[in-house]
Chains A and B, each alone.
Chain A
Amino acid sequence: METIKNYLEAMFANLPNTVEVKNAKDELLSMMEDKYTELINEGKPENEAVGIVISEFGNLDELAESLGIATVINQEDESTDRRMLSTDEVINFVADYTRRRFVLAFGVMMCIFAPIGPIMFSALGETIGFGRIELVGVLFLFVFAAIGVGAIVFSAFMNNEWKFMDKELCTIDLSTAEAIARSKSENQMTRGLYLTIGIVLCIISIIPVIVLDTVFSSGLSFITEGIGPSFIFIGAGIGVLLIQMSSAKDAAYSKLLSLNDVNTVAGNYEPVKKERKNYVSSAAKDIMSMYWKIVLCIYLIASFTSFNWGSTWLIWPIAGVLRKPIEKILCADRG
């Protein structure tokens, strides 16, 4: 049976990776499989069965019309001038992409952590009766915010060596694409786990403050006013980090798979549809490309003017949720 599969694979190797081609391959394989199984059940030796199946397969030219691939069969495919990514490059890309996402997520986490300083030190100040110590907390806030913002800005400059992937046409070979498609589906479990833990952390981060408030209802304001509320930010910070990291690898795999479009060789995976967004105007496109930078500006302005770092971090999750609807509005209908 392996021989038949390989034969079919070889026949289809130079065909474009379209849904029609994949359907044809699946259907032909199914028919050949049936025929092979029956021949074996009739007591034919394997070699003979394979020989019969292959000899009765027919000619790919016959499929040209139904697959809309006449041009491909009759002429050299034009994918030769594409830049071929090697397996090593692909592995490095996934690693770099994940690292960049981590730096970004880390930056966001630091921004969320920032209010912990003032909260802890103002509670401490109250407990020991030395209010001025609150200034140390404010100092912590600035340090955390600076590290966070620094990381976010820095992440934008990472991976410059991969910029070429957006500029020139690239492709990956069949076996690499298959391996990536496999890794992508294997990664789904991890992805779901990260996402779930992240969301759960965000939700349960409120629990310590309630529990501590109940247990230490009298006195000990350091625990109820300091440690309790701090847990909210720690939980939310780590939660948001996990949520962002959950899709990192998946996004990298999708990007790699989207390199192989209909003009490149056929594989056994569904090519990721390249998300071509037709924005209503070039201004809309520019706005969306700077989306997170704009959010960062809003966050900083809102935080510094209101000095309400305790709630301004909410801008991040809100911005995350709003992104898709905004994109929808700014995209022209694809008809």
Chain B
Amino acid sequence: MIEISSDVIRGYNDTIILFILLDEPSYGYEISKRIRSLSEDKYIIKETTLYSAFTRMEKNGYIESYSQNAENGKKRTYYRITQLGKEYYLEKCAEWNLTKEVVEKFIRGDK
């Protein structure tokens, strides 16, 4: 079975997470669940990948974290996107469109 290229996806983990945070603030597991369902089970993000993305993006000022009690009373760290994060997201979208366009030119389904 073919799997997605981990090298390529690595450069877009931030974009994927920021996309989910565009709608509303969210927490670790919910984000990973939404990535999974939006990718139709094709991409399952690892916990360590997710966490290192959170800390990196928070350091860069793309997201902010705050703790909040969830419905079941459990204390969770929520993340929300910042203005800087939105700008970065748009940049990454433009970058991807260009990348896709270039790579597409060299892709041929048949032999």
Report the stretch among B14-22, B48-56, B103-111 that lies at the interface.
B48-56
Flag whether A27 is at the interface (Cβ < 8 A): yes
Whether A63 and B32, one on each chain, are in contact in the complex, defined by CB atoms closer than 8 angstroms, is: no
Contacts of A43 in B (CB 8 A): none
Flag whether A200 is at the interface (Cβ < 8 A): no
Q: Which of A21-41 contact B (CB under 8 A)?
A: 24, 27-28, 30-32, 34-35, 38
Flag whether B92 is at the interface (Cβ < 8 A): no
Contacts of A31 in B (CB 8 A): 28-29, 32, 47, 50-51
Whether B29 and A58, one on each chain, are in contact in the complex, defined by CB atoms closer than 8 angstroms, is: no
Contacts of B27 in A (CB 8 A): 30
Bound Cα distance A35, B54 (Å): 18
Whether B44 and A30, one on each chain, are in contact in the complex, defined by CB atoms closer than 8 angstroms, is: no
Contacts of B54 in A (CB 8 A): 27
Flag whether A128 is at the interface (Cβ < 8 A): no
Chain B contact residues: over half helix, strand or loop, or mixed? helix
Bound Cα distance A67, B48 (Å): 11
Flag whether A215 is at the interface (Cβ < 8 A): no
Bound Cα distance A66, B50 (Å): 11
**Contact for B29 among A34, A59, A60, CB less than 8 A:** A34
Q: What residue in chain A is nearest B70 (Cβ atoms)? A: A34
Whether B51 and A27, one on each chain, are in contact in the complex, defined by CB atoms closer than 8 angstroms, is: yes
Contacts of A60 in B (CB 8 A): 48
Flag whether A65 is at the interface (Cβ < 8 A): yes
Bound Cα distance A31, B76 (Å): 9
Contacts of A57 in B (CB 8 A): 46-48
Whether B47 and A32, one on each chain, are in contact in the complex, defined by CB atoms closer than 8 angstroms, is: yes
Bound Cα distance A308, B69 (Å): 61
**Contact for B46 among A24, A38, A59, CB less than 8 A:** A59
14 contacts between A and B (CB under 8 A): A24-B51, A27-B28, A27-B54, A30-B74, A30-B76, A31-B32, A34-B29, A34-B30, A56-B44, A56-B47, A57-B47, A59-B48, A66-B52, A66-B59
Top 7 A-B pairs ranked by shortest CB distance? A58-B46, A58-B48, A34-B29, A66-B55, A31-B28, A62-B48, A66-B52
User: Known pairs A30-B29, A30-B77. 14 more at Cβ < 8 A?
Assistant: A27-B28, A30-B28, A30-B76, A31-B29, A31-B47, A57-B46, A58-B47, A58-B49, A59-B48, A62-B49, A63-B48, A66-B51, A66-B52, A66-B56
